[in-house]
Amino acid sequence: MPATKFICPDGQETPILKCLNRCPKKERCMFLPTLRAVVKSLDRGIEEPTVTELISGVRETYLKKTTDYAIDPQSALYALQGQAVHTLHEECTEGEILSEVRLKDALTSGKFDMYGKILDESDGTLGDLKVTSSYKIMKALGIHKVDVATGEVYKTGARKGQPKTRKEIRYGGVRHVMDWAIQLNYYRMLLEKAGFTVKRMVIQAICRDNSLRTASERGIEQTVYLIPIHKISDQWLERYFAKKAAMLKEALETKKMPPVCSNRERWGGRKCLDFCEARAECPFAKELRMMNLMKVG
C-alpha cells in the first residue's frame, strides 16, 4: 500500500485523508493542490513489482507494500519536481520518439522515458531523465576529492607537527552508476524483447542545486550532464531480478520480514537513518538510530 500518513512539520503524523479533508493544525504546511499532487504521485496503481521497486532493497519494498508508513510531504517534493520534468518532456516527444511506455515481462514492469532519435540522427538511443543532486552527479561522473599537502604544518593543537592538507578535485575515478545502469539495462532488455534495437543508453542528469557553492566545490558546473551507460549482460539482469522478485513474493506470501537491505541498497546506512520511507517500520533502522544516539551520548 502507498503511504497513508503525512509527517507534519511538528513531527506528528496525520492520516493523509484527514489532512486533505481538513488540516488539524492551525493552517496547512503547504498549498492544498501541492499536497494533493504529492498524494497523486504516491499511488500509481501498479500491481506487479516495478523495475525500480526491485532495484531497491527487498525489505524496503516489502515494508512499503505492507505497512501503514508515513512520509514527509516536504521530502516528497523532490520526486514531484522529477515527475514535472518528465511530464514536460512527454509533451515534446513528437516525431520518431517513443516515450513513457510501460513494458512488462513475467517478473516486472518498467516505463522507459524515451527512445529513438534523441541525441542525433541515428535511431535507437534509450534515454532516461534524472533530476538529482550535485552529490549524485559527482559520484556518477567519477569526480572525487583527494587531500593534497599544502607544504605547511600545524603549529599548535592536537595535530601539531602534522602536515596541513587541502581538498582538490580529481576527474576520471570510478563512476557510481550501478542502480541507474541496472534500471536502464532492464528497460533496454524489455525494449529488445518487444522488437526494438537499442544502440546506446544515456542518462540526462539535471542538477537541482547547480547554482550553489557546494555544487561547484563538487566539480559540478553545468545544469545538465549526459552520462553514458554501459551494457550489462541479460543473463545477469535476469538472475538479479528473478532472485529479488522471488524473495519479495515469498515475504508477501509468508508475511515474514525479508533480510536487511544490502549495504549498497541502504547507502551504507545513510538511507536507513534519513531517507528510507519505510525506516520507521524497520527494526534495523531503529537499531542503527539507537547505536548513533549512544555514540553521541
> In whole angstroms, how close is the CB of 157 to ligand SF4 at the nearest point?
38
279 lies in the binding site for ligand SF4 (CB under 6 A): yes
Pairing outcome for strands 125-132 and 144-153 = unpaired
Contacts of 254-258 spanning 24+ positions with Cβ under 8 A: 255/66, 257/59, 257/62, 257/63, 257/283, 258/58, 258/59, 258/62
Backbone phi, psi, residue 244, to 5°: -70, -35
> In whole angstroms, how close is the CB of 27 to ligand SF4 at the nearest point?
32
> In whole angstroms, how close is the CB of 264 to ligand SF4 at the nearest point?
10
> In whole angstroms, how close is the CB of 244 to ligand SF4 at the nearest point?
13
58 lies in the binding site for ligand SF4 (CB under 6 A): no
Scanning the structure block, which residue is given the C-alpha cell 540526462? 204
54 lies in the binding site for ligand SF4 (CB under 6 A): no
271 lies in the binding site for ligand SF4 (CB under 6 A): yes
HSE at residue 155, side-chain half, CA atoms within 13 A, is 1
Query: 211-250 mask for ligand SF4 (x: CB under 6 A)?
Result: ----------------------------------------
59 lies in the binding site for ligand SF4 (CB under 6 A): yes
Pairing outcome for strands 200-207 and 125-132 = parallel
Is the CB of 189 or the CB of 248 nearer to ligand SF4? Answer: 248
Query: Which three cell numbers, joined as nine digits, stand for 8?
Result: 507534519
Burial of 218 (0-12, 13-18, 19+ CB in 10 A): buried
Residue 297 to residue 292: CA distance in whole angstroms? 9
Task: Please report, as residue ranges, which positions from 63 to 122 form the binding site for ligand SF4 (by CB under 6 A).
Answer: 63
Nearest partner of 127 among 89, 174, 91, judged by Cα: 89
- Work out which of 53, 60, 113, 128 binds ligand SF4, going by CB under 6 A: 60
272 lies in the binding site for ligand SF4 (CB under 6 A): yes
CA 164 from chain center: how many Å? 37
- Work out which of 49, 57, 110, 127 binds ligand SF4, going by CB under 6 A: 57
> In whole angstroms, how close is the CB of 279 to ligand SF4 at the nearest point?
4
Q: List contacts with ligand SF4 (CB under 6 A).
A: 57, 59-60, 63, 260-261, 266, 271-272, 276, 278-279, 282, 284-285
